[in-house]
Chains A and B, each alone.
Chain A
Amino acid sequence: AQKITQTQPGMFVQEKEAVTLDCTYDTSDPSYGLFWYKQPSSGEMIFLIYQGSYDQQNATEGRYSLNFQKARKSANLVISASQLGDSAMYFCAMREVSFGNEKLTFGTGTRLTIIP
């Protein structure tokens, strides 16, 4: 089974609208971290936001927020007031802490295109 699933291979959104990128995960580790990264066409991986499995509140970083629904094992990224510069690939990733798993497990990504 996939540990990280991103079901939207591509999305088109009008500029200034909010957008939600879906991410579901699968783990039996009670302690884990969820991360979102942005990969623009230039190729670098840019860290956006983090949510810990024990965090009581949803994480927020500027225009980015994470809609964390633990029981549903989902960690959707919400971008408010989208901008043309938000066009990029977005990856959801998980690190399972208790299992001593040091790697980040990545989803296959969602390509977001912002339309002017």
Chain B
Amino acid sequence: DADVTQTPRNRITKTGKRIMLECSQTKGHDRMYWYRQDPGLGLQLIYYSFDVKDINKGEISDGYSVSRQAQAKFSLSLESAIPNQTALYFCATSGTSSPDTQYFGPGTRLTVL
């Protein structure tokens, strides 16, 4: 079984709809992250969390919100989806000891029409 899972894997939605992407991990890591990847580009950080009570904005947090429901679960919400949020979304986790490598989920491909 995969250590980091994301649901759904693919989603097509319409402008203005609320969307939630979910991430679960069995790695026992405290730190979790949400990134987005646009075609031809690297990944950009949306939000990250170091524990259940800790939420931090990344470099592109506008239009997104997150919830850390438990150590193992971190959800990303688009309150009112817009077409330029069409992208591949990744959840990642890391431990606290060096080298704190981030391990990624399989990604969610989101299309906003």
Chain A residues packing against B (C-beta within 8 Å)? 4, 33, 35, 37, 42-47, 50, 52, 91, 93, 95, 102-109
Q: Is the CB of B98 within 8 A of A44?
A: no
Q: Is the CB of B101 within 8 A of A103?
A: no
Q: Is the CB of A45 within 8 A of B98?
A: no
> Which residues of A lie under 8 Å from residue B99 when comparing CB positions?
33, 50, 52
**Number of B residues contacting the other chain (C-beta, 8 Å)?**
26
> Which residues of A lie under 8 Å from residue B109 when comparing CB positions?
43
Q: Is the CB of A43 within 8 A of B107?
A: yes
Instruction: Please classify the interface of chain A as helix (H, G, I), strand (E, B), loop, or mixed, using the class held by over half of its residues.
Output: strand
Complexed CA–CA distance, A96 and B56 (Å):
17
Question: What is the chain B residue whose CB lies nearest that of A37?
Answer: B104
Our count of residue pairs bridging A and B at CB distance below 8 angstroms stands at: 59
Q: Is the CB of A103 within 8 A of B90?
A: no
Q: Is the CB of A52 within 8 A of B98?
A: yes
Complexed CA–CA distance, A106 and B45 (Å):
10
Q: Which residue of B42, B58, B98, B100 contacts A91 across the interface (Cβ within 8 Å)?
A: B42
Complexed CA–CA distance, A106 and B102 (Å):
12
Q: Which residue of B31, B33, B42 contacts A4 across the interface (Cβ within 8 Å)?
A: B42
Q: Is the CB of A45 within 8 A of B90?
A: yes
Query: What are 23 inter-chain pairs, A to B, with CB distance below 8 A?
Result: A4-B42, A33-B98, A35-B102, A37-B104, A42-B106, A43-B88, A43-B106, A44-B104, A44-B106, A45-B43, A45-B90, A45-B92, A45-B104, A93-B42, A95-B100, A103-B58, A103-B59, A104-B43, A108-B40, A108-B41, A108-B42, A109-B40, A109-B42
